[in-house]
Amino acid sequence: MILERRRPVDAERAPAATEALRHRGPDGIGAYQFVWQDRAQPHTPAVSGYAGHTRLSIQDPARRSDQPFRRADKTLIYNGEVYNFRALRQELSATGSHFETESDTEVLLELVVRRGIDGLNQAHGMWAFCLLDEASGRMVAVRDRYGKKPLFFYQDADSLCLASEMAPILAYRQQRPVMKAAQLDTFLLDGWLFPHADGQTHIEGIRQVPAGCALHVDLASWEVRAERYFDLALYAGATNPEPEQLADLLQEAVLSRLVSDRKVGLLLSGGVDSSLILSVLCANGLADQVHCFTGDAGKSDDAFYARQCVKQLGIQAINVPLDYGSGGMAGFLEVCRHQEKPFPFIGNVLAMPQLYARIAEHDVPVVLDGTGGDEFFGGYWDRYYRFALAEARARGDSDWIAESLEANAGNAKAMVGARDEPDAARHRGRHLIGSLDDPPGLDAYLDQSVLLAPVNDPLKHWDGTLGAALVRDAAIGRLPEWLWQNDRNAMMSGIENRSPLLDHRFAPFMHSGAQAKFSGPWNKFELRNLFARFEPLPTQWRRDKQGFRWVYNRFLRSNRDAVLELVAGSRILPDRLDVSRLLQRARHDDATLESSLLQRCLCVAGLEQATGLVAAAAG
């Protein structure tokens, strides 16, 4: 969506910006142009507008549901799914609404028109949309509860541009992405760059509509007002979790996400979360109706466990053998272009795009995944275990603590999580936060601005209850980062990923307590127990889930010359570290080539080449 005052929307750049999103919507493209004038105040500036949309057709693929979707003086452009749209349609029809399609798009438009933004609290799903009302001279831009669907915007005195990615906005405005100095320093220091809850991004001038928020735009006054319609912390804490309802809620969440007029797949990773979804499907006789995909990187037992589940159930699955080491620099730069931000060298960023590309070849545009299980139910030992121990100490449960520590004595991640940094450690000088495999002395290459960069992780040096830690991580920490990565991974290939465990009705279970989530050697204990209600599978009591891996050392070694050349050509990095000395060492030392610092340098240099990234001046 583009709105311009005092000048028309550029007739060439606007369609080109929409075309740049075709990978997200390969099934159709449409546009609606308009000029709005306040009839009550004709002396005010006219507003020129352009609504562009690329469609991934899942519900009602017929042309009647193409977008921009217009009804009278209302125009909607929308990405996402409302899973309970048929129930909402029935409710709205009973009170006088009339529908001409079988799509959730029309239901969403009618829901917001009839019930306002608060009506979204009755919807189950994910969405990012702009709804224009030319009669009232207002536009509203809205993002779903967790920000699963992206919605970026640029605003100044005379322009407002919104899009699902940053690149089309910058292209329309003929600007290069300028990375904020503090954000660059933070990434080089610790390798992560979590999205900001207030909508700020790492790129100057570009913001996101915050999760659970709406931006109301008055075309006459050019005023923009933010409204929060969903607050995760308030919602999660307002209702006591009821364990006996968890199984029914999970079943409803899984089954509702099967709504589709096209093929639906399941990404079976070999872990608890995705195999629990398969367990629910099997118990309901639906396993054969979902196309099951497994990926084998040859780096862990994940594929073995996935195959064991498939074998036990006697279902068909498509295994995708992946070689993450030989994709070459072209594949790496393509990931940089789509991610649009610095990222850690992990499989979730660098491996998953290959897997989704193979799934797309089978014409499966909808894929279920297990995202949310770790954040809602305590899956990360190294992030959450210390909060569970602190909770037990607060209630004086020394027996539980002793039993838990003994059961996890051999669990390295649990032992890392059990260590609570003393106050003195929180205030001493900073250093590169890297891998145990990093060679010594990397701090010596970094500028002081990097070593003094602000803390990025919202749980680091933070004290609170386990429930509050889970909510915090879901709102401003690890979960928003996964959602950013997952959306880009899937939409690179025109695939919509759906996450049953991110159903908002699970949020109160963040406060179910340490004993519900950690029991003996098991994390996510309350989820693991649900297999008994549906179909027990070999993954139920698995402990060593590793996730899809990416063989970064093989990639770096096999592309050594290209890697070093790309980093050497960076114009951003020399202001942050001694690039020449680092590269000289990396030419002859594999440990330095494969180090966390070199990986981060490569990512920044890749973004420079793939997106035209430049850096703002420090200070």
**Residue-wise pLDDT tens digits, 373-394:** 999 999 999 999 999 999 999 9
Buried b (16+ CB within 10 A) or exposed e, 570-594: bebbebbbebeebbebbeeeeebbb
pLDDT at 423: 45
pLDDT at 124: 98
Distance CA 125, CA 170 (A): 29
Count of CB atoms within 10 A of residue 429's CB?
7
Rounded to a whole number, what is the distance in angstroms from the first to the last CA of the chain?
A: 34
List the beta bridge partners of residue 55. Answer: 26, 28
Average pLDDT for residues 523-549, to the nearest whole number?
A: 89
CA angle 315, 321, 327 (to 5 degrees): 150
Residue 304, pLDDT > 90, answer no
- CATH superfamily to which 234-377+473-533 belongs: HUPs (3.40.50.620)
Q: What residue has token string 């509509």?
A: 209
Distance CA 551, CA 557 (A): 10
Contact 169, 206 (CB under 8 A): yes
pLDDT at 430: 73
**Residue-wise pLDDT tens digits, 469-492:** 999 999 999 999 999 999 999 999
pLDDT at 81: 97
Count of CB atoms within 10 A of residue 67's CB?
25
Domain 2-178+188-230, architecture per CATH: 4-Layer Sandwich (3.60)
pLDDT classification of 324: cutoffs 50, 70, 90: low
**Residue-wise pLDDT tens digits, 342-379:** 999 998 899 899 899 999 999 999 999 999 999 999 99
Average pLDDT for residues 66-78, to the nearest whole number?
A: 96
What is the domain partition of the chain in residue ranges?
A: 2-178+188-230, 234-377+473-533
Contact 61, 262 (CB under 8 A): yes
